Amino acid sequence: MKRKTFLRLVCINALIILLILWSWWSFPVQDSVESTTAPDIQANIAPVPSSKHFMVSAFKDHRLGGVIRVISILCKKGLKKVYCVLCDKSNSVAKTDGGLDQCVFSEAKFDIHKNTFPYATASVLCPPPSLQEVTHVSITTDPNNIHNLTSFLPIQNQEVKKSLKYNFTWCISNMFGSSNNAMQFVQTVELYKIIGVQRVVVYKTTCGPHMEKALRYYQKEGILEVVPWPIDKFLKPSGSWRPDYSPGDIHYYGQVATLNDCIYHYMYQSKYLLLNDLDEIIMPYKHANLGDLMSSLQKKHSDASVFRVRNYVFPNTQSDDSGRFPLPEWKKVPGVSLLEHIYREPDNEDSFISAKLIVDPRGVEQTLVHNTQKHFGRVVHVPSDVCRLIHTRRPKKGDTSKDQLIMDKRLWEFEETLVRNINRALHKSGLLP
């Protein structure tokens, strides 16, 4: 019995070997390099082999005929050519002549977002592939090195979706250092929820323990997506927009890269995106909420896709004298209490220069911080009596006195609901017992 079983196994193994030899003889692989593996794992920052460059994310851009856009961080020194390798499944062979064998190789165009740092965000544009289906992409600066590529990004936005999950999404470009401004974050999220924001996205490098509690609470609630952003593991990020203020490899922890990633990630998920920082609120003044604001603006400007909102500084050195805010228990939570600071600096030229944005992501190709670099629709400068950016921070022009400032109690109009919601969030998050 054992002898028959042994003979049967020998025959099966011999048959398998014959089939393998027949397949090699019948279907030889020619003019190819070693196979490159494209794992189905989404990387946040992926180094480009044999270079000083990095890939962030990849998307199919249907508005440009199906080009594959790779949001990247490129070292500007000595940059000449960039090449794409597009693959249609996880284990593929790339031909050196650009032929089709599960992968295709081609030269890319790239568009760098200009700044004065050694590294800059760039859009690497890979030509529309001839392959029927492309699922992964990698880039390289060495056309002879494609067999060494091991880091591939999944290509997102494969389909145009008509149905959007959210009306308004707030993109927070970066959170870094020992950021522990938990009180201001909770108050801003709760206020944004009241006026129509349904999704919040944070690109997080590091933060303090109280902020971590707030993040975990909102993640559990379902409104918040935290995107890991370990830029400090690869580069020395600057904490400023100018290298003479804060030396480093890249502008403000790669802020432009994260803003562009958020635009493409939510292009077919959200009707509008709010592109503003943690200490800022885009606040309607003539309308009860963001939905009514945008309905009014789009009715007047149906061809617009970018709306610039003027920046007004509310100095955190000046507080309301009545003692109405902050509530006594709020003092136990670190951070700025927005409701306490109701004085703003007068309008000035910087209010316009440092404006922040509401965008229709399907009408934006590339964005910067205060402007879009490339867009398809018109840009509207929103009048300040219609909408303002409430920017609670240190004063821009020294320690101005209250008689030089303008009282603005817009946030107090939400007091009853807002205070109740803030208290609930502080207790449920564990920031207060």
Indicate whether 61 belongs to any domain.
Answer: yes
User: Among 132-146, 369-383, 416-430, which stretch is predicted with the lowest mean pLDDT?
Assistant: 132-146
Is residue 312 within 8 Å of 388, Cβ to Cβ? yes
420, two tokens: 């109740």
Q: Please say whether the dihedral angle defined by the alpha carbons of residues 150, 73, 357 and 417, taken in this order, is positive or negative.
A: positive
Residues 133 and 174 in one domain: no
Q: How many independent structural domains does the chain possess?
A: 2
Looking up tokens 């921070």 gives: 393
Q: Which of 76, 34, 38 is nearest to 54 (CA)?
A: 76
* CA–CA separation, 90 and 152 (whole Å): 9
* CA–CA separation, 140 and 51 (whole Å): 8
Indicate whether 93 belongs to any domain.
Answer: yes
| pLDDT at residue 30, rounded to an integer | 25
Q: Higher pLDDT residue, 8 or 415?
A: 415
| pLDDT at residue 207, rounded to an integer | 96
Confidence of residue 344 (pLDDT cuts 50, 70, 90): very high
Question: Cα angle vertex 233, ends 228, 141, to 5°?
Answer: 100
Going along 195-246, which residue ranges are E strands?
199-204, 224-228
Indicate whether 117 belongs to any domain.
Answer: yes
Q: Please say whether the dihedral angle defined by the alpha carbons of residues 301, 267, 272 and 278, taken in this order, is positive or negative.
A: negative
Mean pLDDT of 334-342: 96
Residues 207 and 294 in one domain: yes
Residues 79 and 107 in one domain: yes
Task: Report the share of the chain in percent with pLDDT over 90.
Answer: 72
Last residue of a domain, one of 156, 177, 211: 156
Is residue 74 within 8 Å of 173, Cβ to Cβ? no
Q: What is the mean pLDDT of the chain?
A: 87
Is the pLDDT at 37 greater than 90, yes or no? no
Residues 120 and 226 in one domain: no
Other beta carbons less than 10 A from residue 114's beta carbon: 11
Residues 324 and 181 in one domain: yes
| pLDDT at residue 96, rounded to an integer | 46
The 8-class DSSP code of residue 3 comes to H
Last residue of a domain, one of 123, 156, 189: 156
| pLDDT at residue 8, rounded to an integer | 57
Is residue 84 within 8 Å of 105, Cβ to Cβ? yes
Indicate whether 22 belongs to any domain.
Answer: no
Residues 253 and 315 in one domain: yes
Predicted TM-score of the model (pTM): 0.86
Residues 300 and 175 in one domain: yes
* CA–CA separation, 73 and 41 (whole Å): 19
| pLDDT at residue 361, rounded to an integer | 98
Indicate whether 433 belongs to any domain.
Answer: no
Last residue of a domain, one of 156, 176, 192: 156
- CATH number of the domain where residue 65 is located: 2.60.40
Residues 184 and 316 in one domain: yes
User: Among 217-231, 299-313, 318-332, which stretch is predicted with the lowest mean pLDDT?
Assistant: 318-332
Q: Which of 83, 101, 99, 84 is nearest to 35 (CA)?
A: 101
- Each residue's pLDDT tens digit, 239-283: 988 888 899 999 999 999 999 999 999 999 999 999 999 999 999
- Each residue's pLDDT tens digit, 138-179: 999 988 877 778 789 999 999 999 999 999 999 999 999 888
Confidence of residue 78 (pLDDT cuts 50, 70, 90): confident
Indicate whether 170 belongs to any domain.
Answer: yes
* CA–CA separation, 56 and 339 (whole Å): 37
Residues 112 and 146 in one domain: yes
* CA–CA separation, 295 and 195 (whole Å): 14
Mean pLDDT of 382-401: 90
User: Among 37-46, 215-224, 300-309, which stretch is predicted with the lowest mean pLDDT?
Assistant: 37-46
Close Cβ partners of 243 (under 8 Å, ≥ 6 residues apart): 116, 117
- CATH number of the domain where residue 270 is located: 3.90.550
* CA–CA separation, 337 and 185 (whole Å): 9
Indicate whether 5 belongs to any domain.
Answer: no
Is residue 258 within 8 Å of 276, Cβ to Cβ? no
Indicate whether 27 belongs to any domain.
Answer: no
Question: How large is the greatest C-alpha to C-alpha distance in the chain, in angstroms?
Answer: 103
248, two tokens: 């480093």
Q: What are phi and psi of 15, to 5 degrees?
A: -65, -40
| pLDDT at residue 15, rounded to an integer | 46
Confidence of residue 381 (pLDDT cuts 50, 70, 90): very high
Q: Higher pLDDT residue, 69 or 348?
A: 69
Mean pLDDT of 31-40: 33
| pLDDT at residue 64, rounded to an integer | 96
Residues 328 and 220 in one domain: yes
The 8-class DSSP code of residue 107 comes to E
- Each residue's pLDDT tens digit, 39-76: 333 447 999 988 999 999 999 999 999 999 999 999 99
In which domain, by residue range, is 50 found? 36-156
User: Among 9-13, 239-243, 348-352, 354-358, which stretch is predicted with the lowest mean pLDDT?
Assistant: 9-13
Residues 228 and 94 in one domain: no
- Each residue's pLDDT tens digit, 88-143: 864 455 444 443 357 888 999 999 988 889 999 999 999 988 777 899 999 999 88
Residues 127 and 190 in one domain: no
| pLDDT at residue 89, rounded to an integer | 66
Cis, bond preceding 326 (omega within 30 deg of 0): yes
Is the pLDDT at 398 greater than 80, yes or no? no
Is the pLDDT at 323 greater than 90, yes or no? no
